Amino acid sequence: MSVGLRIGFSQLTLEDYDKVCEALNFPSDWPQGQQAHASYEIDGCPVVSDVWESRRQFDSFVEQRLQAAMGQALGDRAEQPEVTERQLHTFYIG
């Protein structure tokens, strides 16, 4: 069953988010296991809502790609996000 993830950053901006996406070549180089992605802003900070096939696939993406891209794009300003996980009861794509 798919997992929904809310990924929040408390010290970054949407511009920082865009720089990380550029370093990842995202969305052109779509991560394996990611089913949906959205980003938005709350109180000036980026929040990401993702759907993944499994938490294991998300964690693998973080270890293999995201950490390096954040370091490349943000240097010492890269931060550990707050991740909230929810098992999805349903997930539909129109």
Is residue 92 in some structural domain?
no
Mind listing the pLDDT tens digit for each residue in 22-76?
999 999 999 999 999 999 999 999 999 999 999 999 999 999 999 999 999 999 9
Name the residue with higher pLDDT: 93 or 38. Answer: 38
Identify the domain containing residue 57 by its residue range.
3-87
Is residue 80 in some structural domain?
yes
Mind listing the pLDDT tens digit for each residue in 3-27?
999 999 999 999 999 999 999 999 9
Q: Could you tell me the CATH number of the domain that includes residue 67?
A: 3.30.70.100
Place of tokens 């995202």: 26
State residue 1's pLDDT score: 81
Which residues are within 8 A (CB) of 45 and not within 5 positions of it... i.e. 6 or more apart?
Answer: 8, 9, 10, 11, 12, 13
State residue 45's pLDDT score: 97
